[in-house]
Structure 1
Amino acid sequence: MGYGLIITAALLWSLIGPLSKLAFREGLSPLEVAFWRAVFSWGLFAAHALIKGQTRFEIRDVPVLVVFGLSGVSLFYVSYQLAVQKGGAALAAVLLYTAPAWVTVLARLVFGEVITRIKLIALALTICGVTAISFGGTSLPGSTLTGWAVFWGLVAGFCYSLYYVFGKRFSVGYSSANLFLYLLPIGIVGLLPFVSFAAKTPTAWIALLLLALVCTYGANSCYYASLKHIEAGRASIAATFEPVFTAVIAYFWWQERLGLWAAAGSISVLAAVFLVVLERTENKHP
């Protein structure tokens, strides 16, 4: 059951790129898509937290919550939408998974964790993979890769890695719904000054609602439910199916194709993820 839940979470996460592209096609900007995703997601997490009575709040946590909200919601949501727009859903999903490399560096700087040989190999694989992707072209039909596509993908990966750093800070005392109850409004406020609102078609509203309900609240719920049945390390391995699912969906829905170099780079990045997570799992089971 645990693996079924985490595979479901990966599948739901993989719809972020394709649904975002649908919203872009309906005339919405990446900033507006990020804004409404945060707004609708907050409504769902807030309802969950209130129903469950998970509304704990400590004044001393405010500064860290503000930094986490601006980086983990405002910048993360926008950077991923821009990566999808500039380079395609498949490419954005792969670059998102440079997060373990960022975690390795941040864990050393923030927590003083040792960088093992496996982590160094994973870091090298990630760098090689991103380099290959840079030369391999975008997954968008008839377009060429720009530096901005790689840049925003790497920014998204970095912001994603911050969930590990800040997550350790809030792992005791805050449930997922409790944390998002306060994080998302901060992220929304951070996005609001930069958003230009466009007239929306019914299709655009459906895409936005699905991004919140399916890809954010639903995926998050499945992921945390899976942790009741399997350990976090094994769940992380299964979650790496997300870019694979994204590539398949983007291929059939939007005719996106990764070039040879980009595909090789993607494999290199995902191999790095597996190495890091496998090492973490083995360390828990000597």
Structure 2
Amino acid sequence: MNKWAYVFIVLGAALWGLIAIFVEGLYEYGFTPLQVVSIRVLTSAILLVIVVLVKNPALMRIDWRDSFYFVGTGIFSIVFFNWCLFTAIQETSIAVAAILLYTAPAIVTLLSRLLFKEWLTMRKMGALFLTLVGCVFVIGVIPGGTSSVSAYGVIVGLCSGLGYALYSIFGKYALEKYSSMTVTLYTFIFATVAIAPFSGLWNQLDTLLKTEVILNTVGIGFFSTVLAYLLYTIGLQYVESSRASITATIEPVVATLIGVFMFREPLSGWQLTGIILVLSAVMIVQEKRKEAVQHSITYEVK
């Protein structure tokens, strides 16, 4: 199952890489970052409730004393990081926002060491280094990058990385008691309850019913959210948080390729080098079976 776990994580991250298409599509109709986050979490919550009711209503049962798990995944992570990410896209660019978001693996690696006592191996550190360098090359920050990015854009971008990292941390705790479907469901229910009342979406019902807006809503709600998070959360059950987060950095690579093939954006040699580095990190982070088993046994003993 371990190899399939990485496949699920990569597929989920690839779907996340599509999100800028739908975000930009909604921005064209005048929606604010807060409203786009609301559209994302509300649509996702509705879809997930339908799926769970059809598949297995028992998955909706939780101990409400565990609500803090979902406050963590839904509010501190999903709402916070999405607002920061979508604001960073407006303030900087999709590429710059992506690299700032992917400071998350470094945060997850450090937090996982402190909270879960996960091994900080040389292989993992090497993969993390390749990932960070690769992401920098992909967005074109170096060589020859510009310094025109606003301080506010950098701050909210870095905060998006922190919020993104918190999903892996809180999610790991929640998965000790609940299935991946239950965790994902309540993540978006809590996120919706927290943000929808402040969105003002009811003032734009006519716009929401336009065909293009509906298509972008389905894209951001189903493909880049529900399906993506289910795949990632399933994989997270079998993979350490830090390793899962590093593997998910395939997302900015996907975003870059979409820019090249869909929007005819040029792909420089440095960007191609960055893609290769990130893909190499994904392979390197998967430790040999024997080594992983040894670490697992040691962790259980501790």
Name the TM tier (shorter chain): 0.7 to 0.9
Deviations 1:124-183 (A, max 9, x none): 66776788869559x9xx994333333333222222211221122111231222123322
Matches within 5 A, 1:33-72: 33-51=36-54, 52-53=56-57, 54-72=59-77
- Sort the Cα spacing of 1:165 and 1:6 in 2 relative to 1 into closer, same or farther, 3 A: closer
1:20-70 Cα deviation digits (max 9, x unpaired): 111112211111111011000001111222221211211221233223321
Asked whether the 8 Å contact 1:108–1:115 carries over to 2, the reply is yes
Q: What is residue 74 of structure 1 aligned with on the other side?
A: 79
For residues 168-208 of structure 1, give each alpha carbon's deviation from its aligned partner in whole angstroms, at most 9, with x where no partner exists: 21112312221233222321233235434463243123212
User: Identity of paired residues, percent?
Assistant: 33
Rounded to whole Å, the distance in 1 between the matches of 2:288 and 2:264 is 36
Q: For residue 264 of structure 1, report the CA deviation from its aligned partner.
A: 7.1
Structure 1 match to 2:105: 100
SS of 1:173's equivalent? coil
Aligned counterparts, 1:1-286, within 5 A: 2=4, 8-51=11-54, 52-53=56-57, 54-113=59-118, 115-119=120-124, 135-136=141-142, 144-192=148-196, 194-197=198-201, 199=204, 200=207, 201-223=210-232, 232=239, 239-254=248-263, 277-279=285-287, 283-285=291-293
| TM-score normalised by length of structure 2 | 0.73
2-structure distance, mates of 1:70, 1:5 = 24
Alignment RMSD (CA, Å)? 4.0
The secondary structure found in structure 2 opposite 1:145 is: coil
TM-score, with structure 1 as normaliser: 0.77
Q: Do the aligned partners of residues 241 and 104 (structure 1) sit closer, same or farther apart at CA in structure 2, a change above 3 Å counting?
A: closer
Aligned residues: 281
Question: Unaligned stretches of 5+ in structure 2?
Answer: 295-302
Describe the SS at the equivalent of 2:168. helix
Aligned residue number for residue 299 of structure 2: none
Letter of the 2:192 partner, please give it. Answer: I
CA spacing shift, 1:218–1:129, aligned 2, 3 Å = closer
User: Secondary structure of the residue that 2:31 maps to in structure 1?
Assistant: coil
Q: Flag structure 1 segments of 5+ consecutive residues without an equivalent.
A: none
**CA distance in 2: counterparts of 1:95 and 1:78, whole angstroms:** 14
Q: Distance in 2 between matches of 1:179 and 1:185?
A: 10
- Bigger drift between 103-112 and 75-84 goes to 103-112
Secondary structure of 1:278's match? coil
